Amino acid sequence: MSGTFSSGTFSLDDLARIVAERAKASPDESYTARLVADGQGRAAKKFGEEAVEAVIAAVAGDKKQLVAEAADVLYHLMVVLHAGGVPLQDVMQELARRTAQSGLAEKASRQK
């Protein structure tokens, strides 16, 4: 199993590693393995459902619920990335590349 992490040091890298490890387990003993076995469509649908639940919590101003739903969103995103063969590192690289420009400047460059 994945073991216990302290909340102060737990990172998305840790979560991605846990997902990759648990995806290899039996679907009878792992929710992650079950989602991966069911295919990318099911994992992506769960990700979408959790995102909508996070939106509802955010709009309601329910911080505690938003924390729980955001955790569900990040976990299911890690499963979708794993099932799609996309390393988290590729997403972080894309985010790092975007730090060179503000979001508004990027938006303006597309509207010329």
Ligand X SMILES: N=c1c2ncn([C@@H]3O[C@H](COP(=O)(O)OP(=O)(O)OP(=O)(O)O)[C@@H](O)[C@H]3O)c2ncn1[C@@H]1O[C@H](COP(=O)(O)O)[C@@H](O)[C@H]1O
Q: Can you give the binding site for ligand X, defined by CB under 6 A?
A: 2, 18, 22, 30-33, 46, 72, 75
Minimum CB separation from ligand X for residue 19, in Å? 6
Minimum CB separation from ligand X for residue 63, in Å? 18
| Nearest residue (beta carbon) to ligand X | 32
In whole angstroms, give the CA distance from residue 79 to residue 91: 14
Whole-Å CA distances, 5 to 23, 29, 72, 79:
19, 20, 17, 19
Q: Are 82 and 23 in contact (CB under 8 A)?
A: yes
Structure tokens at 39: 């295919």
Q: Which is nearer to ligand X, 18 or 83 (CB)?
A: 18
Minimum CB separation from ligand X for residue 62, in Å? 16
